[in-house]
Every structure is written in structure tokens, then in C-alpha cells.
Amino acid sequence: MLFGLTVVLVILFATLWALKRLTVARGTAGHLKVLGATAVGPRERVVLVELAGKVLVLGVAPGNVRTLHTLEAGELPAAETPQPGLAGKDFAAWLRQSVERRKHED
């Protein structure tokens, strides 16, 4: 009986280890990587996604995803260490500047 329990536990841990090794990490799916997100409404978000050297700024709402802006990965400002209470404000400022720059280009 003890041998049977040991075999079951070994199979359980081996299966968990294999699942951990074979699954894609959260926030990445192959070449797609989520860099950040911020809520702009109760069910709407702005999400930064890196794909093939490009960074996409996406507007995400229930049943709707739209590309708001596209830029090269090198154009994205370097991530700074967030200070307590200021999380998301740097991204919001960057997004505001990006939208203003886009308006002036059109």
C-alpha cells in the first residue's frame, strides 16, 4: 500500500513538473508579449503588446480590440522603477504624449 501511494505521488509531481515546463508563461504567447496595461474605464483598457520588434498600443473593450498606435520597440521609453502610489501615471503620461503627437502628424 505504501509503494502504491509513492508511485501515485511520483506520477503527480512528474505531471505537475511537465505541465509547468510545457505551458507558456502568463503574459506571453509565442512571440507575443504583454508589456503593460491600464484601465481607462470600468471595462476598457489600454494595453501595450510587443510583437516582432514592434510595440502595439491596443484599446481593449468587451468584444472589441483596436490598434491605437504602432511604434518600434526602441521608441518605447525605458521602464523606471515605479514609486509607491504612482503606478500607471508614467504610462498615462506617455500615452497622452503619443496621442498628441499622432494628432499633430495627421
List the chain domain ranges: 27-78+87-105
Express each pLDDT in 16-29 by its tens digit: 988 887 775 555 55
Spatial CB neighbours of 64, under 8 Å, sequence gap ≥ 6: none
Report the alpha-carbon angle 58-61-67, nearest 5.
Answer: 20
Where residue 10 falls among pLDDT bands split at 50, 70, 90? very high
Residue 28's φ and ψ, nearest 5 degrees, are -130, 145
Work out the average pLDDT over 102-106: 72
Q: Distance (Å, rounded) from C-alpha 57 to C-alpha 89?
A: 16
Work out the average pLDDT over 93-102: 80
96 three-state secondary structure: helix
What is the structure's pLDDT at 5?
94
